[in-house]
Chain A
Amino acid sequence: MHSDRAPLGLKIAAFAGLAFLHLPILLIFAYAFTTEERTYQWPLPGLTLKWFAVTWNRPDVWQALGLSVRVAAISTILALILGTLCAAAVSRARFFGREAVSLLVILPIALPGIITGIALRSAFNIADIPFSTLTIVLGHATFCIVVVYNNAVARFRRLSRSMLEASADLGANGFQTFRHIVLPNIGTSLLAGGMLAFALSFDEVIVTTFTAGQQQTLPIWMLEELVRPRQRPVTNVVAMVVVLVTFLPILGAYYLTRGGSETAGGGK
């Protein structure tokens, strides 16, 4: 039988593909230390730590970062509430329009971001809502619902009905059951979903360009720098920090759900 070892060609193609995915990101790390200010010269003419200090003292970077964190935090909370409600409804009952609900949740992320963006923008214009942090959050929460929903709905499906019935038989009311049975069971999936939602919002740029007024989130700041570069080394440093910051929630979400799926597989 020849299925135990991978053919060499396949192995090379697979690892070359992974290298293609990772080398560009590593390159960002190298550029954060360059001494060159005006061009993207490679090989780097020299290495310095100077730009970290320069970036640290830039108020515009801090402002953009602050706004991004605020928006991501509020959007994540909203998405957690709405996504969990939706997941609970879809997973516990069959009802008319159930498929439509799942489609509706997925739509904001399935359609290109520019459509979500321009649709929201024209709606805000028609409704005379001025562009502000609120409008950014409205947009972000809309497409963050789906990540929470996806994580929660998978866990809700595994939550055995007999546990809920046992809880009711022992005299717990619906809220007590939710607090002591449902929440501990879905908790890690919500945390994972929340982390992904945070990462999604923290990084979003296309919808944000349409729903932000004069304010700059960190991605909008970066976009400005990409289109009209002012100080390239600062952009390099910010880019590196953004990569590191987004890695944490992704790794966290992975470890949380990995444990969950393993125990579920064991229970089967």
Chain B
Amino acid sequence: MATAAGDRLSDLFWRQPRVLLAVLLVPPLLWLGVVYIGSLAALLLQSFFSIDEFSGLIDYELTLKTYRELFRPANFDIILRTTLMAAAVTVASAVIAFPIAYYAARYAKGRMKAFFYLAVMLPLWSSYLVKVYAWKLILAKEGILTWAVDGIGASAILNAVLSIPVIGGNSLSVSYIGTFLVFLYVWLPFMILPVQAALERVPQNLIEASDDLGARRGQTMRYVILPMALPGFIAGSIFTFSLTLGDYIIPQIVGSSRNFIGQAVYAHQGTAGNIPLAAAFAVVPIVIMGFYLWMAKRQGAFDAL
């Protein structure tokens, strides 16, 4: 009986592949469409509402007033600060990621290759909060970094760095340098993996051809390998940039009291109860990422993928 029904259903699917396609697609699309896109739409809609300054209630009339708020100096500083941090983190992680990815892609073979893969995967997947916590331990004034710096007699240098205005602070754990280090640490694996994947697609014979034509190692790197690795860097930078833009926990735990976009969103939707402004702030990373992706596409970064 059950097989008969199964047979008939399979026949239907065979004759009408579109029906099967629909059956397969409807549940996930319903989920993502309703739960996710619906939520995003609700968020976007709320950013066009405004808050009444006197009553503190939400005014449900569509307006751009809340977006104008974003350009007030205090708010605009937050956006600028977050974007600069995201850019710094992206550049630094590209610099640190490259040797790891290059070694893993070109020189590591067999067991060594598996070792490198796992050595990147494990930190990538270890608990985000534990990683942040580890840095709280490292950067604490009484922690291991101060101890190590003292040990090599470099405390004068550390103090000099900390006394630099803006990026310095009382100790590393309450300075932008600290925030930057934690961001760099937490998102670095997201840069390594795509760069390594891109480097592995560079054909060996191109490198040999470059050698044969008399290129020095640096020239081969500059004119053959790096251009071909560019899509990997772009893919990685999308992660590091986007993740830094949206994070609100790292700057809250390690950093100065000055806010980042994520903290502004969190504060406005929570204690302040200004949902429209929170929504408008949340739209900022979407717009920046949209612009970023568009630029990357214009530069032809996706053609090589």
Contact = CB atoms under 8 A, between A and B. Distances in A.
User: Which of B100, B127, B204, B248 is packed against the most chain A CB atoms within 10 Å?
Assistant: B127
A12 B142 CA distance: 29
Interface string B39-55: 11011001000000000
Given A112-B242, A115-B246, A40 B130 contact: no
A145 B28 contact: yes
B128 A254 contact: no
Interface stretch (A47-55, A182-190, A243-251): A243-251
B17 A119 contact: no
User: Which of A7, A14, A113, A196 is packed against the most chain B CB atoms within 10 Å?
Assistant: A14
Contacts of B107: 5-6, 10-11
A242 B137 contact: no
A204 to B, nearest CB: 8
A101 B43 contact: no
A149 to B, nearest CB: 8
Interface string A165-180: 0001000011110000
B28 A86 contact: yes
Contacts of A223: 129, 249
B185 A17 contact: no
B275 interface: yes
A199 B134 contact: no
Contacts of B121: 250, 254
A82 B35 CA distance: 13
Nearest to A21: B123
B interface residue count range (under 10 / 10 to 19 / 20 to 34 / 35 or more): 35 or more
Nearest to B100: A17
Contact of B144 (A17, A27, A243, A247): A27
Given A6-B106, A22-B123, A111-B246, A222 B43 contact: no
A173 B127 contact: no
Contacts of B114: 258
Contact of A25 (B36, B131, B242, B253): B131
Nearest to A196: B125
B3 interface: yes
A82 B253 CA distance: 36
By secondary structure, the B interface counts as: helix
Interface in A14-33: 14, 17-18, 20-22, 24-25, 27-28, 31
Nearest to A111: B286
Contacts of B135: 24
Interface in B40-82: 40, 42-43, 46
Contact of A13 (B35, B99, B117): B99
A264 interface: no
Given A40-B142, A88-B24, A107 B10 contact: no
Contacts of A138: 35
Contacts of B126: 25, 243, 246-247
Contact of B100 (A14, A85, A239): A14
Interface in B1-49: 3, 6-7, 9-11, 13-14, 17, 20-21, 24-25, 27-29, 31-33, 35-40, 42-43, 46
Given A14-B103, A41-B142, A81-B27, A21 B120 contact: yes
A250 to B, nearest CB: 5
B279 interface: yes
Contact of A246 (B125, B132, B188, B289): B125
B7 A173 contact: yes
Interface stretch (B154-162, B226-234, B262-270, B294-302): B262-270
A11 to B, nearest CB: 7
Contacts of A219: 127-129
Contact of B29 (A1, A104, A121): A104
Interface of B: 3, 6-7, 9-11, 13-14, 17, 20-21, 24-25, 27-29, 31-33, 35-40, 42-43, 46, 96-97, 99-100, 102-104, 106-107, 114, 116-123, 125-138, 140, 142-144, 147, 185, 188-189, 192, 204, 207-208, 211, 217, 238, 242-243, 245-249, 252-253, 262, 265-266, 269, 275, 278-279, 282, 285-286, 289
Cβ-closest 6 pairs across A and B? A112-B246, A174-B10, A13-B99, A14-B103, A173-B10, A123-B39
10 contacts: A3-B208, A14-B99, A25-B126, A39-B140, A40-B136, A112-B246, A122-B42, A142-B36, A173-B11, A174-B20
